[in-house]
Structure 1
Amino acid sequence: MHTTSSEIFLRFQDQGLISSHNGASTLITGIAPVEDCGRSDLVFIDHPKYLSLIPQNQPAAVVTTEEIANGIKPGATAILISPNVRLATALIKQAYVDRDFHHTEWPQIHPSAVVHSSVNIPEDAVIGPGVVVGANVVLGNRVALMANAVIESGAVIGDDTMLHPGCVVSHGCEIGAQVMLKAGCVIGSEGFGFAQDAQRRNYRIPHTGKVIIEDRVVIGANTTIDRGTYGATIIRSGVIIDALCHIGHNVEIGEDCIICAHTGISGSSRFGKRVIATGQTGVLDHVTVANDCVLLHRAGINNSIKEPGQYAGGPAQPLKQYLKNMAAMTRLSEMWSRLKQLEKKVAALNSGEG
């Protein structure tokens, strides 16, 4: 990284990400946390508690809110004002210090890769060691397929999509543009569908559907998404899925949802837009979750949620009700003892009346 604070301001001013630049333009050679920065680093501050570290460490520039900036004394540090410091962190780091997946230690197409002759490889694609690309796969421009990724026949991979090592995209699945599949993802494996005979022996039901992942989706390491039984499992645009999640067959996840680690969503369930499922959320099959719901504290969703809001626990309940119930849980032993005492008193009173 080698830029200046004024260059960052000019680059992001039109997007509304940086609204003003205060102080002289400074040279920036890196991005660091304010607690451990050098004098040529850019830092981000979204809380006043870090203000004392600015004169102490003297970074080259700080991105912060206008309110916090009022507490910074003028000095050698340039001040970039942003209405959304966290968003500024994301976009500035992407622009200047993100990993370049097209700059690798390997040839552009590694000689150990196996690509079917029916596949057209874009000139700007990167195909790493041990990659396997099946028949009639469509690869978009600037795709990056890292070591040992497997794309089975008939799959579609959109422009600027990156597959990390060991990813599998099964036959016929569709991956949109600017998608990131992190290491070990399995997209389009056969879903969990079986029939039993009179002796309870199991017979698998072939899944003839697919998975559709729309644009700008990020899927964490070792997450699995099952293909539809007949139709499609659909992950809408802008969705973020953490590591070690499982999405069952025929599920639909709405735009801009966030699914945190260890969440499991059973078949044919539907999430609306902007749903947040925190860690270890569990969702039964054939339920619907409304737009703008937040699922907390290992939420267990066994019935549909029809209204936006915060829900927690299992079975999931509105957050306020859940917190009251949790507070009562800590006093169950005391309440039980008092109940037994009351029962004895009632029994004694009844005995005296007799």
Structure 2
Amino acid sequence: MKTVSVNDILTSNVNLFTFVSGDRNLTVNNISTPEQMEEQSLVFISKPEHIAHCFSKKPKVVISPPQLLNLFNMPVSFTLLTAENFKSALNAVLPLFDDKHEKFNYQIHPSAIISTNVILGKNVKIGPFSYIGENVTIGDNTIVGPNCVIERKATIGNSSILHASIYLGSHCEIGSHCEVHPHTSIGSDGFGYYTDQNYHHHKIPQIGKVVIEDRVEIGSNCCFDRATITETRIKKGSKIDNLCHFAHNCSLGENSLIAAGFFVAGSTHLGHRFTTGGNSVVSTHLNICDGVTLAGRSTVTNDVVEAGQYGGYPLQKIKDALKTISSLTKLVEMRKQLSKIIATLNIKE
């Protein structure tokens, strides 16, 4: 981790942090959790029961909500700051310690292959053994990691990061301020075939593209198939976990959250703010309205026309889905009881 001073933290967001006591010039190079607090580290304390650890474990810097301030036995031996919005405080502090992007310590690596008519913006970094095809455009401050393939006429916006071993197919687009994690494929062919009378399967050419809009983050080992004719589109602000598959001609609405292992079949349109737990599946040629949340392991086989929380298979409103799941564990006993009732009443099948 990087070495960070208390002043660095205070100036990272002047409206967020309040200095209470200690040394503004103190430096720290480690963050620990309240449960695994380490000496000489910075720690965020949000629960009263963790305050006692601050006096036995001896951290250097403690950041706490102001509501807990009266629980500290002043004066304290560590530097103490308060932050009203705890999640915003985490988002401000953690990047100060983050040195993982320093692994991109090159500009254009000598082993990278840059084809003709490529437009590179300012301060573009391209890693070892990456291939940039003809007529590709890459915006300012964008990083392309090692072993990436960017095919002809693809475009990448400004300040985006493609980690190692990314495939971006021809004519496909990635916007600005995006991040794509290793081993993800954007623009592979959609799964389109027709079967003749002899049961031979013939591939339908997939000549569309994939468009990833601005501020999208994509996890590792995801697949986004190019459309048959038009486009597969992931709209701005969406965040997608690892091991997800988006089939051809799909679209995902703005500011959606997709947990790992999500699959959506072809030509389905997911609305804005679509949120799903892991291992959920949405079938083909469906329309899901804005503001829908799916519980993990849900399966959707029909259109969803009303915003809300859903779960299970077949899909139900979340309250009903939870009741169904609860009932499943009692089915064996219910069958036994039903058999006794049938026998008692002498009901013939």
Same fold (TM over 0.5): yes
> Which residue does the alignment assign to 2:218?
219
Q: Cα gap change, 1:193/1:335 in structure 2, threshold over 3 Å: closer, same or farther?
A: same
After superposing the two structures, state which structure 1 stretch, 117-126 or 143-152, moved more. Answer: 117-126
Q: Which residue of 1 aligns with 2:271?
A: 272
Q: Structure 1, residues 113-135: CA drift from partner, whole Å, max 9, x if none?
A: 11112113334111111100000
Task: Give CA deviations for 1:248-294 in whole Å, capped at 9, x if unaligned.
Answer: 11211112211111110111222222222111011101223333322
The residue identity in structure 1 corresponding to 2:186 is I
Q: CA deviation at 1:86?
A: 2.8
Q: What is the CA distance between 1:175 and its match in structure 2?
A: 0.5
Distance change >3 Å, CA 73–CA 310, structure 1 → 2: farther
Would you say the 8 A contact 2:124–2:141 is kept in 1?
A: yes
Aligned to 1:86: 87
* Structure 2 equivalent of residue 43 of structure 1: 43
CA spacing shift, 1:62–1:253, aligned 2, 3 Å: farther
Q: Secondary structure at the match of 2:92?
A: helix
Residues 104 and 127, structure 2, Cα contact 8 Å, conserved in 1: no
Q: Is the 8 A contact 1:6 1:25 kept in 2?
A: no
Once the 2 structures are TM-superposed, how far is the Cα of residue 81 of structure 1 from its aligned partner?
3.0
Aligned residue-pair number:
344
Distance in 2, matches of 1:70 and 1:237, equals 43
| Equivalence for 1:4 | 5
1:124 match = 123
> Structure 1 227/99 Cα, relative in aligned 2: closer, same or farther at 3 Å?
same
CA spacing shift, 1:290–1:69, aligned 2, 3 Å = farther
Cross-structure match for 2:152: 153
**Cα shift readout 1:27-62 (whole Å, capped 9, x = no counterpart):** 232222233444442222344443332222232223
- Counterpart of 2:170 in structure 1 is 171
> CA 1:310–1:48 in 2, change beyond 3 Å: closer, same or farther?
farther
Change (3 A) 1:68 1:250: farther
- Three-state SS of the structure 2 residue aligned to 1:21 is strand
Task: Please name the residue that 2:14 is paired with.
Answer: 13
Quote the residue 1:313 is aligned against.
312
1:83 is displaced (CA, Å) by 3.8
1:95 and 2:96 matched: yes
Q: What whole-Å deviation, never above 9, does each CA across 1:191-222 have from its counterpart, x for those lacking one? A: 11111112221111111211111111111111
Match of residue 134 from structure 1:
133
Aligned to 2:109: 110
Aligned counterpart in structure 2 of residue 24 of structure 1, from 10, 22, 27: 22
Is the CA contact 1:245–1:262 (under 8 Å) kept in the aligned structure 2?
yes
Which residues of structure 2 form unaligned runs of 5+?
Answer: none
Q: Deviations over 1:55-112 (max 9, x none)?
A: 22232223333334443333133333334323422332123324225742xx422221
Shift of 1:2: 3.2
Instruction: Check the 8 A contact 2:276/2:296 in 1, yes or no.
Output: no
Question: Which structure 1 segments of 5+ residues have no match?
Answer: none
Per-residue CA distance 1:220-247 (angstroms, 9 max, x = gap): 1110111112211111112111111101
Contact 1:277 1:294 in 2 (8 A): yes
- Secondary structure of the residue that 1:89 maps to in structure 2? helix
For 2:70 and 2:325, locate their aligned partners in 1 and report how far apart those are by CA, in whole Å. 42
For residues 58 and 69 of structure 2, the distance between their equivalents in structure 1, rounded to whole angstroms, comes to 14
TM superposition shift of 1:306: 2.2
Partner-residue secondary structure (3-state), 1:13: coil
Kindly report which structure 2 residues correspond to 1:58-97, keeping only aligned pairs within 5 A, or say none.
Answer: 58-74=58-74, 75-97=76-98
SS in 2 for 1:76: coil
Q: Contact between 2:104 and 2:145, CA under 8 Å: does it hold in 1?
A: no
Q: Residues 175 and 214 of structure 1 are in contact (CA less than 8 Å); yes or no, is this contact kept in structure 2?
A: yes
Cα distance in 2 for partners of 1:317, 1:289 equals: 14
Distance 1:256 1:176, change over 3 A: same
Distance 1:193 1:170, change over 3 A: same
After superposition, the CA RMSD in angstroms is 2.1
4+ residue runs over 6 A deviation: none
Larger mean CA deviation between 60-69 and 299-308 belongs to: 60-69
Which amino acid is 1:240 matched to?
A: K
